[in-house]
Amino acid sequence: MPDEIDLLRAFRADTAGPDDAAWARARAAVAQAEGAATPAPRSRRRRPRGNWRFPGYRVNRGRVIVAAAAVAAVVAAGVVATVLQGPPSLSAPVATAWQPARPLPSGSGGVTAPAGTWRLLSYLVARGWQENTSGPEPGLLTCPTAATCYVEGDSSTSPSGPSDMNSFYVSSDGAQTWSVLPVPAGVTFTSALSCASVTDCSAGGLYYGHQPVYLTTANGGHSWTMRPLPADVGQIITLACVTATTCRGLASAAGQTMTHGFGTLFSGTWFFVTSDGGRDFALASFPKDAAIQSVACPTASRCVAIGVYGDFDPKTGPDLDHGVLLTSDDGGMTWQWGTWPKGYGPGAEPEVTCADASHCAMIGFVEHDGTERDQVGYTSGKDAAQYTVIGFSSDGGRTWTTSTFPRSMPYPMIDALTCPTPATCYAAGSDLIAQRIGNTYNAGSSVVAVTHDAGRTWQRVTFAVPAQVPGGMQGDSFLDIGQIQCPQADACVAIGISDQGSTSTPIYTNHG
């Protein structure tokens, strides 16, 4: 597995490197460590999940083990002196200079362009929802308004390599066209951007891969301020900002960094609040054994958090059938146990969202013995049938009802949920309707579902696919939709998934 070695090569680009024999010994040590690693928990779904999230747990846990082994192998190969130099660190806030955006090329269908550039190929749906077959790199989507959207892109060059959220894109015309903005040197994003206005946004990040930082921009990404986080605040995982200076979210334990997806399953995650743009933080712990993965705070006092039990065996993974539900009435400073609704679990990637203090919705996960079929085959046996349901609450998360999707969405797996009003919610992901794009076969299809009556009924939105996989994309780009943002009840933007190493991602809109 060369990716970690390649990262170390890039990190040491300005120094003399070891000879080929040393690298060969390092690679051999990595391969041996990978083979001897403790088996990872089995994947709960045999197809990719949303966007930057790795499928299941296997990749995430493997990356942590192999990355550590790679470092050990390099040390053994005789490069101790270089590694001990360490990457740069910040001791005080740093502001970058204002820089202009660079438009990404676009054009009509059939236009050719050099590899790695962008073009608008076509709109595949004439009215209503549209699918744009050329978008930014796969990444984290944020749309503060119907017109303005941002994407933190994954510029990983290898389909099997770790994610590298170090690019930044902006659209000011409802995701029709995109421009790229520079990211501060050495910065990778660790949370999606959260914007209190069109231009005032914040995010968590890492500085040269090791130091958690707090990133802010007051001009939509033309310039940034990087603040080193206090010693008792780790890597920021999620962030929600109600003003330019007041934000809340989840962070890892003191000073720790973690791998996306897998790391958040462990207890030790903290709830934080900053009211001065990241200068100071108030921290609150969750109850013991509560590994929280998603938090929603619709008001200054009301918060709802969901996750899994943290006392699981890493060899078998967490219990995805029984979830953790917490509520807070003092803005997240103290938490009370709630009763997880019956009939479904949290799944590997639970998510909760609240339209107001009373009305919340969350992604639930169902698995049971049986047979799961698609057009070309089936799986059967224990926990073979797996699909998503949506839970709705009208009393601030205290009690929940279950909403299921229509039969036209067989075995849905929902990656993202947003509710712009108490009654209107959009769910995005995939279902088991097979499709073929050129020579590429996908067992699933991208899908959006909308309800206007708080889950009593759902309408399915589907999309056509091009005859061939567009340049810059992987074959599974149209398999799934990873994220969706609806700043208005009738204005949504969604972004597809793609293998790491892709330079383009489908964009879905229902307006403009």
pLDDT at 58 over 60: no
pLDDT, average across residues 400-428: 96
* DSSP per-residue string spanning 447-463: EEEEESSTTSS-EEEE-
Confidence of residue 121 (pLDDT cuts 50, 70, 90): very low
Q: Which one is predicted more confidently, 38 or 324?
A: 324
What's residue 79's pLDDT? 40
pLDDT, average across residues 321-332: 95
Three-state DSSP state, 402: strand
Lowest-confidence range among 57-66, 351-360, 478-487?
Answer: 57-66
Dihedral angle, C-alpha 63, 432, 414, 402, nearest 10 °: -130
| ∠ Cα 169 172 176 (to 5°) | 85
Lowest-confidence range among 165-169, 217-221, 379-383, 432-436?
Answer: 379-383
Distance CA 55, CA 387 (A): 15
Distance CA 386, CA 369 (A): 9
Radius of gyration of the chain (CA): 22
pLDDT at 67 over 90: no
What's residue 379's pLDDT? 76
Mean pLDDT for all residues in the chain: 79
* Two tokens, residue 161: 């390599």
* Two tokens, residue 459: 């309408």
pLDDT, average across residues 259-269: 60
pLDDT at 405 over 60: yes
Cβ pair 138, 483 in contact under 8 A: no
Helices 58-76 and 3-11, axial angle in degrees (round to 10): 50
Q: Where are the beta strands (DSSP E) in 122-171?
A: 130-132, 139-142, 149-154, 165-171
CB count, 10 Å around CB of 127? Answer: 6
pLDDT at 51 over 70: no
What's residue 1's pLDDT? 35
The owner of tokens 């330079």 is 503
Tens of pLDDT, residues 19-44: 555 445 544 544 444 343 333 332 23
Three-state DSSP state, 308: strand
Distance CA 139, CA 312 (A): 30
Close Cβ partners of 250 (under 8 Å, ≥ 6 residues apart): 236, 237, 238, 264, 269, 270, 271, 272, 292, 293, 295
**Helix, strand, coil abundance in the chain, percent, nearest 5:** 10, 35, 55
% pLDDT > 70, the chain? 75
Helices 3-11 and 20-36, axial angle in degrees (round to 10): 140
The owner of tokens 């914007």 is 195
Cβ pair 378, 372 in contact under 8 A: yes
Q: First CA to last CA across the chain, in angstroms?
A: 44
* Two tokens, residue 222: 């033309």
What's residue 63's pLDDT? 26
Confidence of residue 115 (pLDDT cuts 50, 70, 90): very low
Distance CA 307, CA 293 (A): 5
Cβ pair 122, 36 in contact under 8 A: no
Highest-pLDDT range among 312-316, 396-400, 459-463: 396-400
Q: In the chain, count of helices (H) and strands (E)?
A: 4, 33
Distance CA 479, CA 505 (A): 11
Q: How does DSSP classify residue 123?
A: B
Distance CA 259, CA 41 (A): 16
Highest-pLDDT range among 75-79, 257-261, 413-417, 501-505: 413-417
Lowest-confidence range among 68-82, 89-103, 295-309, 437-451?
Answer: 68-82
Close Cβ partners of 338 (under 8 Å, ≥ 6 residues apart): 325, 326, 327, 397, 398
What's residue 375's pLDDT? 58
* Two tokens, residue 58: 């296997």
The owner of tokens 């046996």 is 381
Lowest-confidence range among 57-66, 87-96, 471-480, 482-491?
Answer: 57-66
Q: Is the dihedral of CA 333, 336, 342, 346 positive or negative?
A: positive
Q: Which one is predicted more confidently, 8 or 20?
A: 20
CB count, 10 Å around CB of 153? Answer: 26
pLDDT, average across residues 251-277: 75
pLDDT, average across residues 45-69: 29
Distance CA 372, CA 380 (A): 6
Cβ pair 459, 125 in contact under 8 A: no
What's residue 180's pLDDT? 94
pLDDT at 489 over 60: yes
pLDDT at 15 over 70: no
